[in-house]
Amino acid sequence: MRRYNCAHDRVVLLSLVLVCALQWACTTVVQGGIPPSAFDFRNVVPVSQKDPSGWKVAKVKILLGRLSPAFSAAAYCDIEVGIPEINFRGPVPDGFAQLEAAAAADSAARTVLSQGIPPTAILCRSFQEEMERILSAAIPGVRVTKFLSLNVPYKTFP
């Protein structure tokens, strides 16, 4: 007959509790849902007689952060989205550009925050690159960079 080992059971139970606590503490929470209105596109290069032509930009300072009970950190990233007024597919309406930019920003944030990159300039650059990759499928010719254009106001989210 086997003897009951209370100490062994405590070690197993403590190990399970520790694993659950660590998993909970390391969980990354991605919230947000940047609104399309955050991308206020302004024309910076007028449309000419030739297609494609024109250029418009929207500047947004986006807070990217990782929330966890053990460690929370965040960084503001300066994002400038540049889009042709008219690309080879035709005119790019502001409303369409706003919807696509917001969806791309949300998706890019989920992707880069799940990679565990510390909130630094590297995180912001990864976010810009991922956002451009996603957005270029919907709007050819798009560029996502840090703030470059002068005399274009920016919005902050959140």
Q: List, for residues 65-121, the tens digit of each pLDDT value.
A: 866 555 567 889 999 999 999 999 999 999 999 999 999 999 999 999 888 888 888
> Other C-beta atoms within 10 Å of 17: how many?
10
Is the pLDDT higher at 51 or at 64?
64
Q: Rounded to an integer, what distance in angstroms lies between the CA atom of residue 58 and that of residue 154?
A: 7
Instruction: Give CA 75 to chain center in angstroms.
Output: 11
Q: What's the pLDDT score for residue 65? A: 81
Q: Which pLDDT value is given to residue 117?
A: 82
Beta-strand (E) ranges in the chain?
42-45, 53-66, 73-87, 90-91, 143-145, 154-157
Number of other CB atoms surrounding residue 125 within 10 Å: 15
- CA-closest candidate to residue 113, choices 63, 66, 62: 66
Give the pLDDT score at 3. Answer: 55
3-class DSSP assignment, residue 27:
coil
Query: For position 50, what pLDDT does the model report?
Result: 75
Mean pLDDT over residues 123-145, rounded? 96
Q: Which of 66-70, 74-78, 144-148, 149-153 has the lowest mean pLDDT?
A: 66-70
Q: Per residue in 14-58, pLDDT tens? A: 333 333 333 333 333 444 589 999 999 999 999 988 778 999 999
